[in-house]
Amino acid sequence: MRAAKLRGNQQLLRQRLESLEGRSYREYKSLKGLYEFSEFELSIDYVQGDPFASPSRIRVWISQQVAEFPTHWLIDYAAQIAIADYLTRQVAQVAQVLAPKSGSGKSGEIAIAPTSQAILRRTAIWITTEGIEARLTVGLPAWGRRIAGNAAAKLLCEIIPQLVSQGLKYKSLEAKALTRHVQTFQDAEALRSQLEPNGLVAFIAAGACLPRRSGVDERSLTQDADPFVLPIESLSSEPQTDSCITLQTPHSGPVKGLGIPAGVTLIVGGGYHGKSTLLKAIEQGIYNHVPGDGREQVVTHSAAVKLRAEDGRSVVGVDISSVIDHLPKGRRSDWFTTTNASGSTSQAAGLVEAIAAGAKVILIDEDTAATNFMIRDRNMQTLIAKEKEPITPFVDKVRQLYEDYDISTILVMGGSGDYFSVADTVIAMEDYQPRMVTQRAKAIAQADPMQRRTEGGQGFGKINQRAILPESIPSGKADRLPKIKVHRHGLMLGYEPIDLSAIEQIAETNQVRAIAQAMLYAQRYYFDEKTSLGQILDSVMSDIARGGLDSLATGLSPDRPIMSGDLAEFRRFELAAAINRLRTLKVGSIS
Ligand code: ADP
Ligand code: MG
């Protein structure tokens, strides 16, 4: 907060605003700077040029002498994240009551970056033992194109103090709800940390509510949702002991659930019986969820990556020869490049890219996979000779992936039994309830007289590392940074659109914005002909771990960093996915 220039106190700001009544809107610009209020500091960082432009940005800093959060809560990093997340939601609610959207544009509105079901570290609010910083946007009030100075004075000098008081002081919060938020987060962290020691890649607690309200509403389905139950053995009604596991949590004690072991796991079952819903919950188990979400105790290995077919995407210089070789017309598969991938080649490229980025678990749903990438049955093997089929189906690669690279796979596959023989674990979903059917599936596979020939060859094959060249991202006008625009399913870097609609593990738009900044940051500091994408990801992620998400802005414009409140933490995999989808990507090979 110290960065901004001190301009005066609350009274001065009020007088200044009142004196601007009726003046040209642009004169709001003169307000930039820091103001001391009785209980906090207000920094006006960016002033919008007109009433319809994106709103102005302000920051509020309140010390712990005033906020009064119990110190013992704040020494824990996990608790800091959870409290900041809670406060962000609290401020959003209070702001909606105190300063709702009214009139034209965003005039008179106070807002904080919108959240999702995930508890994430964001730049909207950060809390330490010293104090709390909150970053908000305000639509500075206008009459047409004139300043509504009295309304602005009320907004900044009366409503903001109320917002601070009701939204950021410990005394005004519901202690129980806050405690639950923090404890839910800490429990989920504890559960996830027990996955690897127990040989698991995912855990679904009994009682979890997995279905969502709708395809566009990530909140928990409340009516007619069947809670997740412990799996039973296919032929008995007793809970199956080796898949039911008890993990420990600091606040809820022992928690029983289904543990999905490392290796190859198959989720089978009839249509509409809850297979995809289970996989989706696993996919999102990389995040900790808010109380009431239903998936608070569903946790997944943090390097689990959802993979799907994405025909039409661009691919640059990816060695997909381990799964697709001998492309027609002599097209190279060890340096596969296309502006318009097919279903199977997009999925192959996605797989190799995920491995190169360090994925440890691959998640695939038949609903969104390319059939010819996944399977090739006996009859088709007979009709089309191996030499005429470039694709080695994933069924012949999935075990090698585990054995050679220690990468597990969880697969939803209701339509083909070909995976029975390569799976370590088979879970059948029936009426939304899991059953363990591994033994039966194995027996069926062994008894099959028409077994298919395996085509996988000796091993999975090598994964190439590519250097990312600096010219991959075109610079903006007059060599300035390209403008960033984001939405939930993609972004624009200057005039370059990047489609992220197939990246299903992005939880909220704040992450997309942070990814966009991270791409520009990576370009400035790490893109060159010698550094692999894997190393670039290491460097960017460790810079963020050390300096926070703000280090992106500081790195991009050291003189005038924009301290925006709408960034959220993201994983290396989603950053890699965005870089790999740049249509202007230029890569070099690294030997
Ligand atoms: P599948 O992939 O097996 O075809 P889905 O997972 O898509 O099935 O689920 C089918 C429907 O059932 C979806 O609308 C989903 O929301 C709903 N559903 C899934 N699990 C449950 C559950 N435990 N309770 C209630 N509804 C559920
Ligand atoms: Mg499905």
Instruction: Outline which parts of the chain fall under CATH 3.40.50.
Output: 182-447
Rounded distance from Cα 410 to ligand 2 centre (Å): 14
Q: In what order do the strands lie in the sheet with 408-412?
A: 232-233, 433-436, 425-430, 264-269, 408-412, 361-365, 304-307
If you take atom 4 of ligand 1, which residue's CA is the nearest one? 272
Placement of tokens 């009295």 in the chain: 150
Cβ-based neighbours of 561, under 8 Å, separated by 6 or more: 550, 553, 554
Fold (CATH) for 182-447? Rossmann fold (3.40.50)
204, pLDDT greater than 60:
yes
For 415, phi then psi, to 5°, come to -105, -5
Using 50, 70 and 90 to split pLDDT, how confident is the model at 591? confident
Using 50, 70 and 90 to split pLDDT, how confident is the model at 479? confident
Query: Tell me: the pLDDT tens digits for 332-348?
Result: 999 999 999 999 999 99
Q: How confident is the model over 302-316, as a mean pLDDT?
A: 98
220 lines ligand 1 (CB under 6 A): no
238, pLDDT greater than 70:
no
- pTM for this one? 0.96
Q: What is the pLDDT of residue 73?
A: 86
Task: Please give the single-letter amino acid code of residue 338.
Answer: T
Q: What is the pLDDT of residue 560?
A: 86
Rounded to whole angstroms, the Cα distance separating 80 from 329 reads 57
Q: What is the pLDDT of residue 169?
A: 98
- Ligand 1 atom closest to residue 274's alpha carbon, by position in its atom list: 6
Query: Tell me: the pLDDT tens digits for 111-165?
Result: 999 999 999 999 999 999 999 999 999 999 999 899 999 999 999 999 999 999 9
Q: Are 136 and 30 in contact (CB under 8 A)?
A: no
β-strands 6-9, 587-589 pairing? unpaired
Q: Are 74 and 128 in contact (CB under 8 A)?
A: yes
Q: What is the pLDDT of residue 14?
A: 97
Q: How confident is the model over 382-392, as a mean pLDDT?
A: 90
Placement of tokens 């009426």 in the chain: 431
Rounded to whole angstroms, the Cα distance separating 303 from 400 reads 19
Q: Are 487 and 512 in contact (CB under 8 A)?
A: yes
Rounded distance from Cα 221 to ligand 1 centre (Å): 10
Rounded to whole angstroms, the Cα distance separating 524 from 115 reads 29
Q: Are 84 and 532 in contact (CB under 8 A)?
A: no
For the chain, what's the residue count? 591
Q: What is the pLDDT of residue 474?
A: 86
Q: How confident is the model over 295-319, as a mean pLDDT?
A: 98
Query: Tell me: the pLDDT tens digits for 482-510?
Result: 999 999 999 999 999 999 999 999 999 99
434 lines ligand 1 (CB under 6 A): no
495 lines ligand 1 (CB under 6 A): no
Q: What is the pLDDT of residue 234?
A: 55
**Choice among 100-109, 291-300, 374-383 with the minimum mean pLDDT:** 100-109
285 lines ligand 1 (CB under 6 A): no
Using a 10 angstrom Cβ sphere, with 0-12 exposed, 13-18 middle and 19 or more buried, the burial of residue 98 is middle
218 lines ligand 1 (CB under 6 A): no
276 lines ligand 1 (CB under 6 A): yes
Cβ-based neighbours of 286, under 8 Å, separated by 6 or more: 300, 301, 302, 304, 505, 571
Query: Tell me: the pLDDT tens digits for 254-281?
Result: 999 999 999 999 999 999 999 999 999 9
If you take atom 9 of ligand 1, which residue's CA is the nearest one? 274
Q: Under the phi-then-psi rule, with left for phi > 0, alpha for psi from -120 to 50, and beta for the rest, what region is 253?
A: left
Placement of tokens 């691959």 in the chain: 362
Rounded distance from Cα 310 to ligand 2 centre (Å): 17
Which ligand gives the minimal distance to the CA of 365?
Answer: 2
Q: Are 135 and 59 in contact (CB under 8 A)?
A: yes
The tokens for 250 are: 């600091």
Q: Are 421 and 443 in contact (CB under 8 A)?
A: no
215 lines ligand 1 (CB under 6 A): no
Q: How far is CA 261 from CA 244, 409, 423, in A?
A: 11, 10, 11
The tokens for 320 are: 């997909």
Q: How confident is the model over 183-193, as a mean pLDDT?
A: 98
Q: How confident is the model over 393-420, as a mean pLDDT?
A: 96
Full DSSP string of 197-230: GGTEEEEEETT----EEETTEEEEP-SSPPPP--
Rounded distance from Cα 277 to ligand 2 centre (Å): 7
Using 50, 70 and 90 to split pLDDT, how confident is the model at 477? confident
**Kind plus residue range of the DSSP H or E element containing 87:** helix 77-98
Q: How far is CA 3 from CA 30, 41, 544, 560, 561, in A?
A: 17, 12, 20, 10, 10
Q: Are 518 and 529 in contact (CB under 8 A)?
A: no
Q: What is the pLDDT of residue 492?
A: 96
If you take atom 20 of ligand 1, which residue's CA is the nearest one? 274
- Ligand 1 atom closest to residue 224's alpha carbon, by position in its atom list: 25
Rounded distance from Cα 451 to ligand 2 centre (Å): 26
Q: Which residues pair with 305 in a beta bridge?
A: 362
Q: How far is CA 234 from CA 245, 419, 439, in A?
A: 18, 18, 9
- DSSP alpha helices (H): ranges in 244-370? 275-284, 343-356
For the chain, what is the mean pLDDT? 94
Rounded to whole angstroms, the Cα distance separating 571 from 541 reads 8
If you take atom 23 of ligand 1, which residue's CA is the nearest one? 226
Question: What's the CA angle centered on 209, arms 206 and 214, to 5 degrees?
Answer: 160
As a dihedral over the C-alpha atoms of residue 351, residue 356, residue 360, residue 361, rounded to 10 degrees, the angle is -10
Rounded to whole angstroms, the Cα distance separating 248 from 569 reads 27
194 lines ligand 1 (CB under 6 A): no
Q: Are 23 and 149 in contact (CB under 8 A)?
A: yes
Rounded to whole angstroms, the Cα distance separating 194 from 87 reads 28
Using 50, 70 and 90 to split pLDDT, how confident is the model at 100? confident
Helix axes 572-580, 533-547, angle to 10 degrees: 130
Rounded to whole angstroms, the Cα distance separating 519 from 552 reads 9
Rounded to whole angstroms, the Cα distance separating 202 from 200 reads 6
Task: Please give the single-letter amino acid code of residue 453.
Answer: R
229 lines ligand 1 (CB under 6 A): no
If you take atom 1 of ligand 1, which residue's CA is the nearest one? 272
- Ligand 1 atom closest to residue 365's alpha carbon, by position in its atom list: 2
